[in-house]
Structure 1
Amino acid sequence: MKAHSELRLLPWSGPDGKPCYLSTDDDSSHLSRLADTTEAAQLDAGQELLEHAMEVIADAESGPAELRLLAVDLTEALRDTLRVAVSRGHRLPAPDSAAREEEDASPRVPTTAFG
């Protein structure tokens, strides 16, 4: 297996609220699998919360306390989702130089073409 060039941002924080990182070249290690499972659960929870939020917002009788709780829950879900996105983004393979050169040689459309 290829060694990771960066540490993996884990989907949880340490006891002091600081980010936790994993250094391993084994994507199937116990901690890597736990992180994968936790990320999936966080994204699923975010999706469910989004569906709930749409119902609450559509209900004209939702009160300030319910909306405040929803804002708190959505903020936590957004934090978790952004952490997953950052972690996964850092683990994407860097494009090789040949692909970048090919990309640079591709035709460009001037921005004026978009109005």
Structure 2
Amino acid sequence: MVTAKPRLLPWPGPAGQPSYLVTDGSESHLSRLADEMEEVQLETGAELLDHAANMLEDRRLSALELRFLSARLSEALRDALRVAESRGGRLPEADDDEATPDKS
């Protein structure tokens, strides 16, 4: 049986469009590769954020360096948002009874 919701992969397709994986629910090689890539993307983003904080303390930072830093931070944010969307899309749907708090 194929899962109803395709998994958004952490890399874009050839033309920059979203890429999806449809599986039968079992863990495939491509699924494990996507998990590993997500971890690398999130770790890279965290390291870049630390690096950016250090760079921004230097008042002699050139406009070129700031543009480069901004581009890398934008890429890291795009990756993190794609990971969040992918993981959020794989969360189980909440039942209406579970989504509504008990008012008793």
- What TM-score do the two structures reach when normalised by structure 1? 0.83
- Aligned residue in 2 for 1:113: none
In the alignment, structure 2 segments of 5+ residues that lack a partner are none
| Higher radius of gyration, 1 or 2 | 1
- Aligned residue in 2 for 1:32: 31
In the alignment, structure 1 segments of 5+ residues that lack a partner are 108-115
The percentage of aligned residue pairs carrying the same residue is 50
Deviation at 1:96, TM superposition (A): 1.8
Distance 1:13 1:27 in 2: 23
Deviation at 1:106, TM superposition (A): 3.5
Distance 1:92 1:4 in 2: 13
> RCO (CA 8 Å, sep 6+): is it higher in 1 or 2?
2
Divergent runs of 4+, >4 A: none
How well do the aligned residues superpose, as a CA RMSD in angstroms? 1.7
Q: How many residues align?
A: 104
* 2:75 is equivalent to residue 76 of structure 1: yes
Distance 1:3 1:94 in 2: 17
* CA offsets 1:38-86 (integer angstroms, 9 cap, x no match): 0000000000000000011111111111111000000000000000000
- Residue 2 of structure 2 contacts residue 22 of structure 2 at CA under 8 Å; is this kept in 1? no
